[in-house]
Amino acid sequence: MTDHMKIDHDVGKRITAADECALVQAAFARNPTSELLRHRLAILLNHDDRFDEVIALYAGIDPSGLGFAEVIMLVHAHLALDRADDTERAAQLATVAFGIANGDSQRAAALAARGKAQRRLGAIEAAERSLRDALAHDPHNKDACKRLASLLFDQGAPDRVLADMDGLNAKGAGHSRLFAAQTLALAQLNAIDAARERDGWDRFAYCGTLATPPGWESLEAFNVALAAELLNHRGLRYERSGTASRNSWRVDAPMTGNAPRVRELFTQIIAVIDRYVADCPRDESHPWLRARPDSAILRSGCVVTEHSGYEDWHMHQAGWLSGVYYVHVPAPVLNGADERGCIEFGLPEDLAGADSARSFGSKRVRPRPGMVMLFPSHCHHRTFPHGDADRRICIAFDVLPA
């Protein structure tokens, strides 16, 4: 492992996903037999939470004649609707996907999806078998890992969670879902010091002020221009299925379109990450350190919260390292003394249990404009509504293994 990590920006398109969806929809209407256009349209509709339309695209088509990618996308559309008949259909389609899968990675993905559907349907033993079979095919499958841990936690078996996660780690798996499950299991077993050590926030979190980008008189002036660019972004939308954001506006791909200020920001953030990685301990004593990728992609999203907006407890399931940059913070948050508008790191009570979460403790950070934070992606965190008429604007980002 070298001191340097190669980091590339997530490629920003010239048009937003919504604009692309409209174009592809028009093209597909003119050429309804095109499988390529149908697949692309389904991807874009899924991204826009239009799950019923995804399903309608495939009405009357035998799923066994489709490719794996389209069948598994149908599975996810049915699961997203979270209705009993859709869940049953998702389980059936996941079995079809398993039958046409090519290789262990696809088989594991199909089994992980089937396990999710089976659990919703109350078939707990069948769900556990599907999830364990998924991990037998691919010990690195993150969805199966997360879902198996969640199922065992619901059974009150943190010892089994820990044994399974340690077993996956021994097979070379090391990702944020696994590390988060280990932390929660240790906390539930009242091994609080070990849980804190595995979480690693105290050891690995970074908080600092971004350097003023070249050509700008001040960081404040840059942030004003950046805020204007984000608030006028064509990709700005209200909420999105499957995210932790509540009562919030989002830009899922800030690099899309003409976004020069966002690009300037990430040039600076990558420099911060480079220095951070170079300063990381070389002893690899922590599994998170051992999981550090040699190359990565930086993916980002903007969250704009008005008075009642906040983020539920979550962690960043696809990343190795995550962070946030604060573009604008309402004055009452800056000058406040309570939790309003703050970000808090700790353990969710509904996952760890109230006593374990309390014993584990929490760390609350008051944001300020220009502040950049970095932390391991498996660290759970949430934010609080700020209650002000002004907006809080931040950009969250993940360093994803390439």
**Token representation of residue 130:** 């599907």
Could you report the per-residue pLDDT of 47-60, keeping only the tens digit for each? 889 999 999 999 99
Q: Which CATH class is domain 202-401?
A: mainly beta
Domain boundaries 49-172, corresponding CATH code: 1.25.40.10
Predicted pLDDT at 283: 73
Q: How much of the chain exceeds pLDDT 90, in percent? A: 88
Residue 399 contacts residue 298 (beta carbons within 8 Å): yes
Say whether pLDDT at 22 is over 70.
Answer: yes
Give the pLDDT band (50/70/90) at residue 346.
very high
Q: What is the pTM of this model?
A: 0.93
* Residue at token pair 């604008």: 328
d(CA 372, CA 226): 15
d(CA 279, CA 297): 20
Say whether pLDDT at 1 is over 60.
Answer: no
Provide the strand spans (E) within 274-383.
295-311, 321-328, 343-345, 363-365, 371-376, 381-383
Predicted pLDDT at 243: 83
d(CA 38, CA 342): 43
- Average pLDDT over every residue of 152-164: 97
Q: Which residue has the higher pLDDT, 16 or 44?
A: 44
Could you report the per-residue pLDDT of 64-80, keeping only the tens digit for each? 999 999 999 999 999 99
The candidate with the shortest Cα–Cα distance to 207, out of 80, 342, 320, 392, is 342
Predicted pLDDT at 240: 79
Alpha helices in 172-320, H assignment, sequence order:
176-188, 192-199, 201-204, 219-231, 260-279, 287-290
Q: Which residue has the higher pLDDT, 235 or 141?
A: 141
Give the pLDDT band (50/70/90) at residue 176.
very high
Give the pLDDT band (50/70/90) at residue 12.
low
Say whether pLDDT at 2 is over 60.
Answer: no
Q: CB count, 10 Å around CB of 315?
A: 21
Could you give the residue range(s) of every CATH 1.25.40.10 domain in the chain?
Answer: 49-172
Burial class (CB in 10 A: 0-12, 13-18, 19+), 75: buried
d(CA 65, CA 69): 12
Q: Which amino acid is at 288?
A: W
**Token representation of residue 164:** 């399974």
Q: Which amino acid is at 273?
A: I
Give the Cα-Cα-Cα angle 362, 325, 216 (nearest 5 degrees).
Answer: 150
Could you give the residue range(s) of every CATH 2.60.120.620 domain in the chain?
Answer: 202-401
Predicted pLDDT at 242: 74
Predicted pLDDT at 92: 98
Contacts of residue 117, defined as CB under 8 A and 6 or more positions apart, other chains included, come to 75, 79, 87, 88, 90, 91, 94
Could you report the per-residue pLDDT of 81-118, keeping only the tens digit for each? 999 999 999 999 999 999 999 999 999 999 999 999 99
* Residue at token pair 């420099």: 271
Burial class (CB in 10 A: 0-12, 13-18, 19+), 332: middle
Could you report the per-residue pLDDT of 228-271, keeping only the tens digit for each? 999 999 889 888 777 888 889 999 889 887 899 999 999 999 99
**pLDDT, the chain, mean:** 95
Contacts of residue 76, defined as CB under 8 A and 6 or more positions apart, other chains included, come to 46, 90, 113
